[in-house]
Amino acid sequence: MRRRVHVAGRVQGVWFRESCRDRALAAGVAGWVRNLADGRVEVVLEGPPAAVDEVIAWCRRGPRRARVDGVNVADEQPVGERGFRVR
């Protein structure tokens, strides 16, 4: 399963990307995370459905200092991501 997630709110400058990487790696999910110019964070997750859903559930909360106002999730075709990168 592969999903692209856009997270809006106070999600930049609060260790969202690094925390997301840690969660994804702990769950066995590959992909990447990056800040967008409009203040959102974009996350691509690829792996077992339950593990991807676990990381998406975390994205709805974020790290302690974040304030998540909205999450948009879109399904994509898997491409064989390996590892998890902060861009």
**Which residues belong to the active site?**
17, 35
Task: Say if residue 46 is exposed, middle or buried (CB neighbours under 10 Å; 0-12, 13-18, 19+).
Answer: buried
Q: Which residues in 1-87 belong to E strands, given as ranges?
A: 2-10, 30-35, 41-46, 67-76, 84-86
In the structure encoding, which two tokens stand for residue 81, read together? Answer: 């991501």
